[in-house]
Homo-oligomer: A and B are copies of this chain.
Amino acid sequence: MKNYKEMSMEELRTEREKLLAAYDEYQARGLSLNIARGKPGDDQLDLSMPMLDVLDSSATLTASDGVDARNYGVLEGIPEARALFGEIMDVDPSQVIIFGNSSLNIMFDTVARSYMFGVMGATPWSKLDKVKFLCPVPGYDRHFGITARFGIEMINIPMTDQGPDMDLVEQYVNHDETVKGIWCVPLYSNPGGCVYSDETVKRFAAFKPAAEDFRIYWDNAYIIHHLYDEEIRIPNIIEECAKAGNPDMVYQFCSTSKITFPGSGVAAMSTSPANVEDILDKMKWQTIGHDKINQLRHVRFFKNLDGLKAHMKKHAAVIRPKFDAFLEAFDRDLEGRGIASWTRPRGGYFISFSAMPGCAKDIVARCKDAGLTLTGAGAAFPYGKDPEDSNIRIAPTFSSLEDIRIAADLFSVCVRLSAVEKLLAQ
C-alpha cells in the first residue's frame, strides 16, 4: 500500500474523498458501539455461570481449617483461597491476602494506608511535602487516577518492548527518596501488551531504593490471561526481590475480575511475610473480613490452577477473534501507510494504537461522531496528557464479534481520514 506521506496533494485529496464517502456511510447507520473499557463480553460472563451452582443451600460452607465461611472473621482469607492464589502467583499461601471483589480497591487502599499510616513505621505520606510515583506510559488510567487523587506527582517513564526504560527508572528509584512507588502491569501491559523481559524484572528486583518505603506496585492483572496457546511467564517478582535482598519491596496484585465476574470476583495481594503482617495490622481496623462464601465458591468451582487454566482457554477462544478482527483491519488498511503502528498482544485486554502524532484526539472525536466510543485520547497517560497526542487504547472484548468487525473498519477509516486531513493541512 502506498505510504500517505509519499502521496501528492492530488492523491491525498482523492483519498480523502474516498474516505469521507466511507465515513458518511458509517454515520448514516446510526451505530452505537463501545470499545472504551476492558470489560468482558456477555459470551465470556456466560462461561462462569456454572460457578453459581457450586454452593447451594445443601452445601457445607466450612473452610478447610474448619472455620464456618458464613460467619465473621478470617481477615487474611480462607486457607484454600490463599492456596489457589498462591498457585496463580507461585508464592507460598502465607504470603497471600485475599480481599474483596476488586484489585483496584486493594491498590487504592494500599496507597491510602501508606498515605494515612505510613509503610512499616515510615512517615505517612500525608505528612510529607512531596511524594512521587513513576508511571510507565502508556499505562493504566485507573492507576494514574489513584495517584492523582492523592496529589502524588507522577513521572512519565517511556516503555520499550522490554518494559519500562530501566536506566531512567533506576536513576529515580535509587537516587530520589521522594519516589515511593512505580505502577507496573508486567505481563501483557495495559495498554501496550508488553511482556517485561527477564532482565527487566531482575533489574526491578535489584533496585537500591533511596526511600525505605519505596514499593513496586506489580499489578499482575493478566497473569493467566493468554490469548494464544503459548503461556508466557515472566520471572517471579516476589522470589526475585527476596533473592536480591529486597523481600519487602514489592506488592503484587491480581484478581478473578476477568476470570469469573468483574463485579463479583475475588482479588488478592501477595507480598513478603513482613508486609503481610504490616498490612493486616492496619486492615484489622477497617474490616473483620472479606466475603468468604465467594472465596469458597471460586475455589470449589476451579479446584486448582489447572481448572483455572482450562477456564482461561475458553475465554481466549471467545476474545481472540475480536483481537484478530482489529489486527486484520489494520494489516489490510494501514500497513505501509506510514501513519500508524500498533501492538500485537499475546494476552491481556488491549491493543495499543499509535496514530500519526497530533491525530489521536481527532480520531477519537471522529469515531464518536459516527457512534463508536473509544477510551479518551490521552487516558493512558498521567493527568490525561499524551505529549504526542498519538496513543489510542483499543478494548475489543466487550462487544460482539460482529460489532467489533464494524468498529475495526470504522476506526481504520477514521485513522486514515485524520492522517490525510493533517497531511493536507501541512
Contacts and interface: CB of A to CB of B under 8 A. Distances in A.
Contacts of A285: 108, 142, 145-146, 149
A80 interface: no
Contacts of A105: 286-287
Query: What is the oligomeric copy number?
Result: 2
Instruction: Tell me what chain A mostly uses at the interface: helix, strand, loop, or mixed.
Output: loop
A399 interface: no
Contact of A100 (B72, B101, B124, B292): B101
A291 B294 contact: yes
Nearest to A55: B52
A71 B116 contact: no
Interface in A58-117: 59, 68-74, 100-102, 104-105, 108-109, 112, 115-117
Given A52-B55, A57-B50, A116-B126, A293 B104 contact: no
A115 to B, nearest CB: 6
A132 interface: no
A126 B131 CA distance: 15
Most chain-B CB neighbours within 10 Å: which of A69, A112, A286? Answer: A286
Contacts of A42: 68
Given A56-B52, A285-B108, A71 B126 contact: no
Interface of A: 37, 39-40, 42, 45, 48-53, 55-57, 59, 68-74, 100-102, 104-105, 108-109, 112, 115-117, 124, 126-127, 142, 145-146, 149-150, 257, 261-264, 282, 285-294
Contacts of A288: 102, 104, 142, 262-263
Given A37-B72, A52-B57, 18 more contacts: A39-B71, A39-B72, A40-B71, A45-B68, A50-B57, A53-B57, A56-B56, A71-B261, A71-B262, A71-B263, A72-B262, A74-B263, A100-B291, A101-B290, A101-B291, A117-B149, A261-B293, A264-B294
Contacts of A294: 264, 291, 294
Contacts of A282: 149
Contact of A291 (B57, B124, B264): B264
Most chain-B CB neighbours within 10 Å: which of A42, A69, A71, A73? Answer: A71
B108 A263 contact: no
Nearest to A73: B263
A285 B150 CA distance: 10
A59 to B, nearest CB: 7
Contacts of A150: 116
A292 B265 CA distance: 10
Contacts of A100: 100-101, 290-291
Across the A-B interface, the 4 shortest Cβ-Cβ residue pairs = A126-B126, A264-B293, A49-B57, A108-B286
Contacts of A262: 70-72, 288
A77 to B, nearest CB: 11
Contacts of A72: 37, 39, 257, 262-263
23 contacts: A45-B68, A48-B70, A50-B57, A51-B57, A52-B56, A52-B59, A52-B293, A53-B57, A69-B263, A70-B264, A71-B263, A100-B101, A101-B290, A101-B291, A102-B289, A108-B285, A108-B286, A116-B116, A116-B126, A146-B286, A149-B282, A262-B288, A263-B288
Contacts of A261: 70-71, 293
